[in-house]
């Protein structure tokens, strides 16, 4: 027994436009939201193409906003940001374009700041360095930069 959609096509269009206008969204988030409303797959495709046409949905703009927010606010590194964008099924082109907006000097200084501000405890100097390196790696920074910072 197939359940009927929660909203008509016109109601869903209005609601999903408001959903996209509130915050940058990616195709996958919108698709999941529409599916949670039990919309038919043909209607989902129609609504998504309409959102793209009317510029409510833009993959490059989403990727740029995501990269900017995660780097500036959460201080994530390139590796972690890229993994999360891949999970959201963002194209490689959009990822590269968005990642290019991260200034290398600011990126390096952020890594240094994270390393200096993180307090780690350990039995030996080697333990403390290992814990700090693991922490920085978990934030998504590259190993060569981590090794350069943690001496």
The per-residue pLDDT for range 83-97, each reduced to its tens digit, is 999 999 999 999 999
Which residue range(s) make up the domain with 67?
Answer: 59-99
Please state the rounded mean pLDDT for residues 132-140. 96
Q: In sequence order, what are the residues at sequence separation of 6 or more whose Cβ sits closer than 8 angstroms to the Cβ of residue 112?
A: 149
Residue 95 sits in the same domain as residue 108? no
Considering its fold, how many domains does the chain have in total? 3
5 band by pLDDT with thresholds 50, 70 and 90: confident
Residue 18 lies in a domain: yes
Task: Report pLDDT for 61.
Answer: 96
Please state the rounded mean pLDDT for residues 113-120: 92
Do 132 and 110 belong together in one domain? Answer: yes
| pTM exceeds 0.85 | yes
% of the chain beyond a pLDDT of 70 = 99
Give the mean pLDDT of 43-69. Answer: 96
pLDDT greater than 60 at residue 136: yes
Say yes or no: 64 and 93 in one domain. yes
Structural domain includes residue 44: yes
> Who's near 35: CB < 8 A, 6+ residues apart?
44
pLDDT band, very low/low/confident/very high, at 1 (cuts 50, 70, 90): very low
Same domain, 66 and 37: no
Q: Output the pLDDT for position 2.
A: 58
Q: Both 89 and 69 in a single domain?
A: yes
- Residue 90 included in any domain: yes
Task: Decide if 4 is inside a domain.
Answer: no
Average pLDDT along the chain: 94
* Residue 2 belongs to a domain: no
Residue with tokens 């201080």: 75
- Domain-embedded: residue 63: yes
Q: Please report, in angstroms and rounded to a whole number, the separation of the first and last CA atoms in the chain.
A: 64
Instruction: Tell me whether residue 15 is in a domain.
Output: yes
Residues 17 and 30 in one domain: yes
Cβ–Cβ < 8 Å for 35, 70: no
pLDDT over 70 at 68, yes or no: yes
Do 47 and 68 fall within a single domain? no
């Amino acid at each position: 027994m197939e359940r009927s959609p929660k909203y008509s096509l016109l109601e869903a269009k209005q609601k999903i436009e408001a959903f996209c206008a509130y915050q940058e969204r990616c195709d996958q988030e919108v698709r999941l939201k529409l599916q949670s409303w039990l919309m038919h797959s043909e209607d989902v495709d129609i609504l998504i193409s309409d959102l793209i046409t009317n510029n409510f949905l833009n993959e490059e703009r989403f990727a740029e906003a995501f990269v900017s927010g995660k780097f500036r606010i959460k201080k994530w590194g390139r590796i972690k940001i890229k993994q999360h964008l891949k999970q959201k099924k963002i194209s490689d082109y959009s990822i590269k374009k968005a990642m290019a907006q991260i200034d290398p000097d600011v990126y390096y200084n952020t890594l240094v700041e994270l390393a200096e501000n993180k307090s780690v405890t350990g039995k030996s100097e080697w333990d403390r360095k290992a814990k700090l390196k693991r922490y920085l790696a978990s934030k998504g920074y590259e190993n060569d930069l981590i090794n350069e910072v943690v001496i």
